[in-house]
Amino acid sequence: MLARPPAHEAPETEEVTATRVSCDGGGSALGHPRVWLSIDPETGWVDCPYCDKRFILKEGAGAH
């Protein structure tokens, strides 16, 4: 069973199928440098350290 993300409200969430994701804050004027993040399959989620966007691993997805 995957761990629940922390209770804070993420400004944006995205369900993904891979454990490695990138985030650039949307590329607009409010964007940030592109960072690559790894989702721990045990927790099933990761937050971007720049914009707090939360990436959640879809049920049944594995490492790609």
Residue 6 is predicted with a pLDDT of 61
Between residues 11 and 40, the one the model is more confident about: 40
| Beta-sheet strands, E only, within 2-64 | 13-16, 20-23, 35-38, 45-47, 54-57
The yes or no reply on domain 13-57 and CATH 2.60.260.40 is yes
pLDDT at residue 18 is higher than 80: yes
d(CA 53, CA 11): 6
Residue 40 is predicted with a pLDDT of 94
pLDDT digits (tens, 9 = 90+) for 24-57: 998 777 789 999 999 999 999 999 999 999 999 9
